[in-house]
């Protein structure tokens, strides 16, 4: 297994939005899902997850309700709001175009310049 | 959408901070437990799994803090922390806290009380619907509105409707159902009450039919009379009461048609008896044909501006109507015009200046208190430098430190504000008595929600004022410096030039403000002192006087005969040195002297006419300049004689002896068209005296006519000079009055005739200047005391701070006197600057203080008052510096060096 990558600044919010867009999750579930999708290649600091969740909720992109967890414990579930859905779309587009630009810069050869 | 979500989340967090915290706890606990469970599944022991889960998560508390911050709550949390910490700090130094809260409570309480008075009396609209549309009509010459002009204006005006006329009266006597009672009354036309827009408590207002001569026997009772005399009888309307009316007075029956609502006090006072009370009954006043000739009188007109017109429209119209009046009768109306003035302005204008001055003065007191507190905080901040340094080293930002210090200030000033508000609230009754009795609308004075907002606002303002600069200075410390020196010696911003400068500025500001306060107090005291010691022109001691009510006897009596026998019986009493009496003459008269130019002045020069008995001047102790007194030989059938006062003599005859000259007196309802002209011969000139007027009323040219020679309807008011304590004679006088009254059952045991000494009368007449002097004096004393404490605090503190330095100086050979001079000059320099500033401030403030001056002989920029204020402040400042300087002088160099 490769050494986990540090998370790029500002990308955690986007990943959380993506994670909950697939279905309501509690905080620990968000962590697990991101790790599962990334095949453990991303390391997320658990302590920074919750401030991010609270920030997104405060901004109205995700909403929370208390519910039962898999093992019948009370847990707080987050889901995406319509505003969050729009936000995720924008962020994804921005990220893709940014990634494309950066990739093309990094992939440039002396002949192309 | 997201905006509302944010607000909701924020509001939820603010309103339920504990719920938020417990939810956060539960959520994080769930996370840790779920993680641990997963780890156990991976094969770890439960204890090891919990440890690993915690380790992976990191610091739980800082995560929580970050979560709170995510929801915009960090500041709130920090604020709560600041408040908790502030409370702890304040509890730790109860003495400091108590002094600070007390100072603030006094300052804020005084401000709140005066603000409430200004608000209720001056700013609030009069308590009538649409009261801004109410105006008062005044002629430029009479200041009032005579009945003839009223009828003309009512007929011609398009902009005013309705218009009503009202007049004060000398009062009357209510008889039947118990002891006779002298009551104040006000005369009104039918439109008066409907015009104001108020409703009667019971019954109705007057009908226009009751304004027809002969139909006017209806009465409206004032609330307090209805309550006290008639036991709040709900069946009062329709009953009749008996009043003494007319001249000579006769018992007339009046039907009660209505009862006033409580607290109705407009017009504020009537000029009759009893003194200083609100109107007790209202009577309809028809306009009789003979009223049309009245020019000067007590009539005043009020009116309501018709919707759609402005005050300017009304005054333009008044100009036109005035010119019509002028055309119809130029002799009477030359150079005269009518002005409409807002009624509220008429009611409140003279209280407005006084209350504004008082508000400014109480604000100065609060500012001095703030300066003291700023200095206290600065000193405390210096003592707390190590604490601040530790905080800064541990990562507190400067903003955070300032915020924490300000939170302490805010706590203090809110506590002071609360105490001040309660103080003002409980002192409302006292304030009603403290304000001069001529203040209008005192019944409406109360502390209301607006005052609460005002208190809150000035509390916050005060906290910023006394807290911000010290907080900024304390937080500017370099932690390294503080830590290095161990916090024992002066250095850094607080001891730096800026700190010194700030302290000096505080002293200068306090002294300047205190100067203005002391100057105002001095002016009030001096004005009152001059009033109290004014040359009154007669001997006030051992002098008794009393008066019979204006409408005294039911059956007609021969007033001169009655007066003569009364005075004879009184002067026969043991202990009476001499007895005389007088009555006032016609209110408006004019004087014509052959060959003297100022005869046709408009309005005619004010002239006093009095009708004394012989022996009047001797009884009062007024010396004759020339000529003789009235005697029994001056009889109704002998040539008319007069005595004049010095003011009149000087104006018309210079220093020459006026005895033997003649003057012509014109009297009549319209002084421009006199109906009664009499030529009298001058037999004497007396020195000026102020009997029986108040000491602050200027002396007018006065003509004295012999009471017995020109008989008048009224009974004289006796004046008695006693040999010993005048109080001892009063029972004997009461016995004589009782014997006279005993002849008529109505008058048996009339409790209403008040016998007073003239000294008491004068004290009563000078109540207004006295209460102003007391109010200003208390503020001045408070300001001076606070300023003295302030300077003392600054200097005493600097002595403590400089103990080491002083020790070094003395060890190196400085004499105690040098040390003393150094310390005193440290305080004296800014104090002197403050006095110079205060001089300028007081000079600028003086023109607002003109209202406090009751006597013409001084101006508001009175040099003696300026001088005394300077001297008293210099003394106080030097004393406040001297006490700590003496302590500095006694510093023992050895101990001081060990002070380290």
| Cis amide bond preceding B248, omega within 30 | yes
pLDDT digits over B498-528, tens only?
778 888 898 899 899 999 999 988 888 888 8
**Dist CA B636 CA B127 (whole Å):** 54
On the 0-12 / 13-18 / 19+ scale of CB atoms within 10 A, B298 is middle
Is the pLDDT reported for residue B881 higher than 90?
Answer: no
**What pLDDT shows up at residue B487?**
46
Is the pLDDT reported for residue B489 higher than 60?
Answer: no
User: Which of the two residues, A82 and B895, has the higher pLDDT score?
Assistant: A82
Asked if B37 is an interface residue toward chain A (Cβ–Cβ < 8 A), one would say yes
CA distance A59 to chain B (A): 6
**What pLDDT shows up at residue B70?**
74
CB B503 within 8 A of CB B763: no
Asked if A100 is an interface residue toward chain B (Cβ–Cβ < 8 A), one would say no
Residues 36-65 of A with CB under 8 A from B: 45-48, 50-52, 54-55, 57-61, 63
**What pLDDT shows up at residue B687?**
93
- In DSSP notation, B124-180 reads SPPSSTTGGGEEEEEETTTSS--HHHHHHHHHH-SSEEEEEEEEE---EEEESSSS-
User: Which of the two residues, B854 and B580, has the higher pLDDT score?
Assistant: B580
**What pLDDT shows up at residue B416?**
93
Tokens of B153: 């204006």
State the complex-level ipTM: 0.86
CB B352 within 8 A of CB B435: no
**What pLDDT shows up at residue B492?**
47
Half-sphere exposure (Cβ direction) of B779: Cα atoms closer than 13 Å? 35
Among A51, A63, A73, select the one facing B66 at the smallest CB separation.
A51
User: Which of the two residues, A15 and B558, has the higher pLDDT score?
Assistant: A15
**Dist CA B102 CA B89 (whole Å):** 17
A81-90, B489-498, B809-818, range with the lowest pLDDT:
B489-498
Beta partners for residue A63, in sequence order: A79
CA distance B399 to chain A (A): 24
pLDDT digits over B182-234, tens only?
788 889 999 999 999 999 999 999 999 999 888 889 999 999 899 989 999 99
CB B131 within 8 A of CB B485: no
* Burial annotation B825-837 (CB, 10 A radius, 16+ → b, else e): ebbbebbbbbbeb
| Cis amide bond preceding B789, omega within 30 | no
Highest mean pLDDT among B274-283, B330-339, B597-606: B330-339
Give the pLDDT mean for A5-32.
83
**What pLDDT shows up at residue B3?**
66
Kindly determine whether residue A59 and residue B30, on different chains, have CB atoms separated by under 8 Å.
Answer: no
User: Chain A residues with CB inside 8 Å of B67's CB?
Assistant: 50-51, 54
User: Chain B residues with CB inside 8 Å of A57's CB?
Assistant: 9, 71
Dihedral of alpha carbons B434, B437, B438, B439, sign: positive
pLDDT digits over B601-636, tens only?
666 667 788 889 999 999 999 999 999 999 988 888
**What pLDDT shows up at residue B8?**
67
Residues 65-94 of A with CB under 8 A from B: 69, 71, 73-76, 81, 83
**What pLDDT shows up at residue B1?**
46
On the 0-12 / 13-18 / 19+ scale of CB atoms within 10 A, B22 is exposed
Residue B743 in 3-state DSSP? coil
Q: Which chain A residue's Cα is nearest to B67? A: A51
Give the pLDDT mean for B645-654.
88
**What pLDDT shows up at residue B434?**
81
Q: Which chain B residue's Cα is nearest to A87? A: B2
**Dist CA B420 CA B105 (whole Å):** 4
* Angle at which helices B816-845 and B863-889 cross, to 10°: 150
User: Which of the two residues, B486 and B813, has the higher pLDDT score?
Assistant: B813
**Dist CA B412 CA B566 (whole Å):** 69
Q: What DSSP element (H or E) covers B704?
A: strand B702-705
Kindly determine whether residue B70 and residue A28, on different chains, have CB atoms separated by under 8 Å.
Answer: no
**Dist CA B150 CA B143 (whole Å):** 13
**What pLDDT shows up at residue B645?**
92
Least Cα distance to B826 among B806, B811, B804 occurs for: B806
Q: Which chain A residue's Cα is nearest to B23? A: A76
Tokens of B161: 């409707």
Highest mean pLDDT among A36-40, B200-204, B490-494: B200-204
Reported as a pLDDT band with limits 50, 70 and 90, residue B339 is: very high
Percent of chain B with pLDDT over 90: 27
User: Which of the two residues, B568 and B693, has the higher pLDDT score?
Assistant: B568
Give the pLDDT mean for B805-809.
84
Provide the number of CB pairs (under 8 Å) joining chain A to chain B: 85
**What pLDDT shows up at residue B275?**
44
User: Angle B7-B12-B17 (CA atoms, 0-180°, nearest 5)?
Assistant: 135
Kindly determine whether residue A26 and residue B30, on different chains, have CB atoms separated by under 8 Å.
Answer: yes
Question: How does strand A5-6 pair with strand A42-43?
Answer: parallel
CA distance A2 to chain B (A): 19
**What pLDDT shows up at residue B273?**
39
Give the pLDDT mean for A22-49.
85
Reported as a pLDDT band with limits 50, 70 and 90, residue B277 is: low
- B757 Cβ contact list (under 8 Å, min separation 6): B543, B544, B545, B726, B727
Residue B681 in 3-state DSSP? strand
**What pLDDT shows up at residue B554?**
46
Is the pLDDT reported for residue B875 higher than 80?
Answer: yes
Question: How does strand B218-221 pair with strand B250-259?
Answer: parallel
Give the pLDDT mean for B629-644.
91
Q: What DSSP element (H or E) covers B257?
A: strand B250-259
Write down the mean pLDDT value for chain B.
Answer: 83
pLDDT digits over B408-455, tens only?
899 999 999 999 999 998 888 888 888 877 788 877 788 888 899 999
Give the pLDDT mean for B129-141.
90
């Amino acid at each position: 297994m490769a050494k986990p990558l540090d998370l790029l600044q500002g990308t955690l919010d986007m990943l959380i939005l993506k994670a909950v867009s697939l279905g309501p999750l509690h905080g620990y579930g968000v962590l697990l899902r991101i790790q599962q999708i990334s095949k453990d290649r991303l390391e997320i600091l658990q302590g920074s997850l919750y401030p991010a969740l609270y920030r997104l909720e405060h901004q109205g992109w995700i909403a929370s309700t208390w519910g039962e967890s898999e093992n019948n414990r009370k847990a707080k579930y987050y889901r995406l709001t319509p505003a969050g859905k729009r936000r995720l779309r924008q962020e994804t587009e921005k990220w893709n175009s940014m990634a494309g630009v950066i990739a093309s810069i990094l992939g440039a050869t002396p002949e192309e310049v | 959408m997201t905006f509302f979500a944010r607000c909701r989340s924020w509001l939820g967090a603010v309103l339920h901070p504990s719920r938020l915290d417990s939810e956060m706890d539960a959520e994080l606990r769930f996370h840790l437990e779920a993680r641990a469970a997963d780890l156990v599944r991976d094969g770890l022991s439960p204890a090891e799994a919990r440890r690993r889960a915690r380790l992976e998560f990191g610091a739980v508390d800082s995560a929580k803090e970050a979560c709170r911050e995510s929801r915009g709550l960090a500041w709130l949390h920090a604020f709560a922390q600041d408040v908790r910490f502030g409370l702890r700090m304040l509890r730790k130094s109860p003495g400091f806290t108590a002094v600070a809260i007390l100072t603030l409570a006094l300052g804020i309480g005084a401000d709140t009380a005066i603000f409430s008075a200004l608000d209720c009396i001056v700013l609030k609209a009069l308590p009538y619907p649409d009261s801004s549309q109410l105006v008062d009509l005044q002629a430029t010459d009479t200041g009032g509105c005579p009945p003839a002009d009223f009828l003309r204006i009512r007929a011609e005006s398009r902009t005013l409707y309705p218009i009503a006329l009202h007049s004060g009266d000398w009062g009357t006597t209510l008889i039947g159902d118990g002891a006779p009672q002298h009551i104040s009354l006000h005369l009104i036309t039918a439109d008066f009450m409907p015009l104001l827009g108020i409703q009667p408590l019971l019954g109705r207002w007057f009908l226009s039919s009751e304004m027809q001569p002969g139909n006017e026997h209806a009465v409206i009772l004032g609330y307090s009379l209805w309550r006290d005399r008639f036991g709040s009888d709900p069946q009062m309307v329709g009953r009749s009461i008996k009043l003494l009316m007319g001249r000579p007075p006769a018992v007339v029956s009046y039907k009660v048609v209505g009862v006033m609502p409580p607290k109705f006090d407009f017009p504020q006072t009537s000029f009759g008896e009893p003194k200083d009370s609100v109107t007790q009954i209202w009577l309809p006043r028809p306009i009789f044909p003979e009223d049309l000739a009245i020019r000067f009188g007590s009539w005043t007109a009020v009116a309501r501006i018709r919707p759609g017109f402005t005050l300017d429209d009304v005054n333009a119209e008044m100009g036109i109507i005035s010119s019509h009046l002028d055309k119809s009768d130029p002799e009477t109306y030359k150079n005269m015009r009518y002005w409409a003035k807002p009624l509220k302005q008429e009611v409140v204008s003279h209280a407005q200046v006084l209350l504004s001055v008082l508000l400014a003065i109480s604000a100065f007191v609060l500012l001095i208190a703030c300066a003291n507190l700023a200095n206290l905080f600065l000193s405390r901040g210096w003592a707390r430098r190590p604490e601040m340094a530790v905080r800064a080293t541990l990562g507190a930002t400067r903003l955070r430190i300032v915020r924490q210090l300000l939170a302490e200030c805010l706590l203090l000033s809110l506590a002071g504000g609360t105490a001040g508000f309660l103080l003002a609230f409980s002192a409302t009754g006292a304030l009603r008595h403290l304000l001069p009795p001529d203040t209008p609308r005192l019944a409406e004075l109360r502390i209301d929600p607006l005052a609460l907002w005002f208190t809150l606002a000035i509390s916050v303002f005060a906290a910023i004022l006394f807290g911000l600069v010290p907080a900024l200075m304390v937080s500017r410390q370099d932690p390294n410096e503080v830590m290095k020196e161990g916090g024992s010696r002066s250095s850094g911003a607080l001891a730096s030039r800026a700190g010194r400068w700030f302290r000096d500025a505080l002293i200068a500001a306090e002294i300047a403000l205190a100067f203005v306060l002391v100057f105002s107090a001095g002016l009030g005291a001096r004005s009152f002192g001059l009033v109290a010691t004014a040359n009154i022109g007669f001997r006030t001691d051992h002098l008794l006087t009393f008066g019979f009510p204006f409408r005294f006897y039911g059956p007609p009596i021969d007033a001169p005969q009655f007066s003569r026998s009364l005075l004879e019986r009184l002067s026969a009493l043991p202990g009476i040195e001499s007895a005389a009496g007088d009555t006032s003459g016609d209110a408006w008269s004019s004087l014509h002297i052959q060959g003297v130019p100022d005869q046709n002045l408009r309005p005619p020069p004010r002239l006093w006419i009095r009708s004394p008995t012989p022996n009047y001047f001797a009884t009062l102790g007024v010396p004759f300049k020339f000529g003789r007194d009235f005697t029994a030989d001056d009889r109704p059938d002998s040539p008319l004689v007069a005595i004049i006062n010095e003011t009149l003599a000087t104006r018309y005859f210079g220093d020459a002896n006026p005895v033997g000259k003649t003057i012509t007196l014109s009297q009549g309802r319209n002084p421009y068209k006199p109906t009664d002209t009499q030529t009298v011969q001058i037999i004497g000139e007396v020195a000026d005296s102020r009997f029986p007027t108040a000491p602050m009323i200027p002396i007018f040219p006065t003509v004295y006519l012999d009471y017995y020679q020109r008989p008048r309807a009224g009974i004289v008011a006796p004046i008695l000079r006693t040999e010993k304590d005048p109080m001892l004679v009063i029972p004997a006088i009461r016995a004589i009055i009782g014997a006279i009254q005993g002849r008529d059952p109505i008058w048996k045991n009339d409790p209403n005739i008040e016998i007073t000494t003239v000294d008491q009368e004068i004290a009563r007449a000078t109540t207004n200047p006295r209460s102003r002097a007391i109010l200003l004096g208390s503020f001045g004393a408070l300001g001076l005391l606070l300023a003295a404490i302030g300077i003392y605090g600054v200097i005493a503190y600097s002595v403590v701070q400089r103990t080491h330095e002083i020790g070094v100086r003395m060890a190196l050979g400085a004499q105690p006197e040098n040390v003393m001079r150094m310390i005193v000059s440290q305080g004296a320099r800014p104090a002197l600057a403050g006095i110079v500033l205060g001089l300028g401030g007081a000079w600028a403030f003086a023109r607002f203080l003109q209202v406090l001056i009751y006597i013409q002989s001084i101006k508001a920029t009175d040099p003696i008052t300026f001088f005394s204020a300077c001297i008293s402040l210099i003394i106080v400042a030097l004393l406040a510096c001297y006490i700590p300087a003496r302590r500095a002088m006694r510093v023992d160099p050895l101990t001081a060096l060990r002070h380290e």
